[in-house]
Every structure is written in structure tokens, then in C-alpha cells.
Amino acid sequence: MEIPEEENVEKASQEAAEGASEGASEEASEETPVSTSEESSEAAPKTLDSEYGQDSNEAESAELQTEITPTEAAVAEEARKTEHAWIEDSEATVQIEAETEAEAETPVSIEVPEAPETPEIVEDTVQFHEETEETEEIEKAVEASEEAKEAAAAERASAPGFFERLKAGLSKTSKVITDRIDLLLNDYGKIDEELYEELEEILITADIGMETTMSLIDNLKKALVERRISDASQVKTVLRDVMVDTLKAHSDNHLNIDQSPAILFVIGVNGAGKTTTIGKIAHKLNLEGKTVMLAAADTFRAAAIDQLKIWGERSGVPVIAHQEGSDPAAVVYDAIQAAKARKTDVLICDTAGRLHNKKNLMNELAKIFRVIERDYPEAQREVLLVLDATTGQNGLQQAKIFKETAQITGIALTKLDGTAKGGVVLSILHEVEIPVKLIGVGEGLNDLQPFDPEKFVNALLDIS
């Protein structure tokens, strides 16, 4: 029968296929060095396909899968790297958080640059400070002025009248003249040449001077004749009138500083009393309501600058001063500019004491006058020569020399209270023809007064 043959053929074919499959499995096992248990279990079961010739494809797939699967060592290495990277990231995160906290705790300092000052702002600031300082200085001057006025009022209230002070001051000169004249006239019953000669000697002794004395005697004779007086007891009264007329001929006690602006220039020799006279004038003007400024142009002596500052404080007026040895003309120039800026009514300039026979010092005065004429032409000017009455006829010579150089407009005669030579006033007015505008008879602020011819002669001759 043919069927048994076919069954034999199928069995033979099946056995051959199984043999081939087992050979392929052995070769695959030899080529693969390591195989996991899972892979072995997956490859072990045989499907239906293997029975129909699919075993070869499955073997190839298992071989490819074995080649691409990582080993345990590779897996461990990869896990180690991953863990290391995670640790580094954690440390970096901790460091960043710490730095953030530190920055948060640190105070923030922001520097703001200063805005640059423009020239306009700087100029306005400087001007503001200058105006503030000037305002403060003016306020201080006003306060000092009020205090000075109060002190002066108290002094005037307690002081005697000026005529009494003048009479007391001229007491030494008065004794020289009055006592001897009274004795002479009592001895003579009639008027003759011998009487005139005796009277002439008395007047010269009082430092009236020869020229002025001769003029007085001549005028006395004329007046006695005109009045038809022959009694010697009336000679003193007529002499008084002659003296007053002589003084009034060149008398003008008005200082040329009543208009604003004005400048009062004070000159004289050393020790004449210039600085004291300036202080008293400043005090008087201040009481009159005028604004006053002092210029310390006596730069040869530091003591002179200090003395003027003391008088400025006492009178409540500002003082413009430089260092010792500075150019006096420069001081006057600066004072003029300051007086203009503050609209000062009267600028009073002190100068160094100088002898009338020193040409270089006299030329220095000329330089200062040029500065005044150039920079302060609109100001009224008074050039006041201060003379010490105790110098007598020497003061007369000073006045003559200063008149030629300094364009003197008035004289202030000081220290009349300490001399018997007060008669020099008559010779100065008669021979120099410069008016005596001020006389001083004491140290007080009110002891410097305008010259009054009648009061002066009455005090000189002790006539009430």
C-alpha cells in the first residue's frame, strides 16, 4: 500500500527537521557567551511555527537581541554615573541657596553720584552767603549803634554843659590871661601906651603869637576910640569883642559831610589825637542817624589799627583794615568800594602820623588824594587837620606846611584841657586862615564839640 510509504516519508522528514533544529541551537549556544535566565526561558518553548520551519528565524532574532542588550556591568556603571550627577546637582543647589541667603542678609548700599554744581549755582550760593554775612554784619552794627546811643544819652544826662567843660578845660590858659589882665587893669586907671605894652606881653605869653597879638592890639585901640572909652576897667570887655571878631573872620564849624556820600580824611602828626578824634566824630554822626564806616589807613603801627577797631566797636561802626605795613592807598581804595556797596553816608579815613618836614610822607598823602579823586569823585570831601593844642606855636607851623600839601579844609584842636597855650587858636585862624571846626576838652565821647568863637573867648577870659 502506498499510504504506509507516505507515513514513512513524513516521519523521515520530521526527524530530519528536528535534527537540523537541534544543530542550530547548539551553534547559537556556542556563539553567545552569557544568557540571562529570562532570555533562556523565552527561547526554550517551541511554538507551532517551529514545527513548520520557523525555528531558523527565531534563532536569528534571538541572536540579534543578545547583541543589543546591555550587560549587568554596563547597567551598574550607568546607575553610578546617574547617582554621581544627582549628588553634584544637589550640592550645587545647596550652594546657590546659601549664596542667595547671604546676599539677602547683606545690606544694599547704593551710591548716588552728586550732581555737578553749575557755575550759576555756585555763584548764587556765594552771593547768598555774602549777602547773609553782610546782613549779619549790618545787624550787629545796628545793635552796637543802639547800645552806643544809649550809653551816650546816659553820659549826656550825667555830664555838665559844654561851656562848663570848656571853661574847666581852658582854666590853665584862662589863668595865664585873665588873672594878669584883671590885675593890670586894676592897677591902671587910664588907658595909655604902657597899658597896651603890658597887655601885649600877656597875650604873647598865652601863646597867641606875635603877629596875631599885634593885630589884636591895633584892633583894640580902634575899638576903644570908636566907642570913646577911656576907663581901663572896660578894656577887657572890648578886648573880648575884638577877639570874637577875629575868630569869626575865618570861622566855620560846619563839616562838609552833610550830603551822602561823603568822605572825611583825617591827617596830622604823631600823637595829635587823630584816632580818638575819629572815634568821637563817628559816635556823633551815628547819633545823628548817619551810616558811618572807618578806614584804618595808618598801616605803620599795628596799635593804630587795633585802636581804631576799639573805637569802631565803641561807636557801633564797621572798620576796614589791612595788615600792618600795607599800602595806605590800597586801604582807602578798598574802603571806598565797601562804602559804595553799602551806601554808607560818611567814610572816615585815618592816616599815619607824619611830620610836616618829611617830603616822602607828604607825597604819600598826595597819592591817597589821587585815589579819592579818581574813585570817589561824587563824594563830599573834608580834610581835617588834627593839632595838639599843647604844642602851641609849633602847631601853627604844622598847619602852614600841611595847608600847602594836603588841601586842608578844617582844623580840630585837641587837648585844650591840658595846656596853658590855648591862645594858639587865635593865631591859627588869623595867620593860616583855616577854620577851627572842632575842639576837644576831655576824654569823653561828648568832649569834642564844634568850635564856637563866643563861647571860646568867654571861657578864655572867664566871662560868664
Q: Rounded to the nearest 5°, which phi and psi values hold at 266?
A: -110, 125
Residues 6 or more apart from 117 whose CB is under 8 A from it? 125
Q: Any binding-site annotation on 332?
A: no
335 assigned to a ligand binding site: no
Beta bridge partners of 348: 264, 294
Grid coordinates of 374:
579818581
Q: Is-contact 426 239, C-beta < 8 A?
A: no
CB 278 within 8 A of CB 294: yes
Please answer whether residues 415 and 391 qualify as being in contact, where contact means their C-beta atoms are separated by less than 8 angstroms: no
269 is in an annotated binding site: yes
Instruction: Tell whether 342 is in a known binding site.
Output: no
| Residue (of 455, 450, 453, 422) closest to 437 by Cα position | 450
Instruction: Report the C-alpha gap between 124 and 247 in whole angstroms.
Output: 58
Secondary structure element (H or E) that encloses residue 458, with its range: helix 453-460
CB atoms within 10 A of CB 129: 10
Q: Is 161 annotated as a binding residue?
A: no
Residue 279 annotated as binding?
no
Length of the chain: 464
Asked whether residue 255 is marked as a ligand-binding residue, the answer is no
Task: Please check if 417 is assigned to a binding site.
Answer: yes
What's the rounded Cα separation, in Å, for the pair 230 and 384? 43
284 annotated binding-site participant: no
Q: Hey, what's the torsion of the CAs at 40, 46, 50, 54, to 10 degrees?
A: -40
Residue 416, marked binder: yes
How far is the C-alpha of 37 from the C-alpha of 379, rounded, in Å? Answer: 131
* 415 in a labelled binding site: yes
In angstroms, the CA 236 to CA 251 distance is: 22
Residue with cell 610836616: 356
353 is in an annotated binding site: yes
CA atoms within 13 A on the CB side of 82: 6
| Structural Rg of the chain based on CA atoms | 62
Sequence letter at residue 76: A
271 in a known ligand binding site: yes
Q: Which three cell numbers stand for residue 394?
A: 609849633
Whole-angstrom distance, CA of residue 137 vs CA of residue 91:
74
- Please state the residue numbers annotated as binding site: 268-275, 350-354, 414-417
- Please state the residue numbers annotated as binding site for GTP: 268-275, 350-354, 414-417
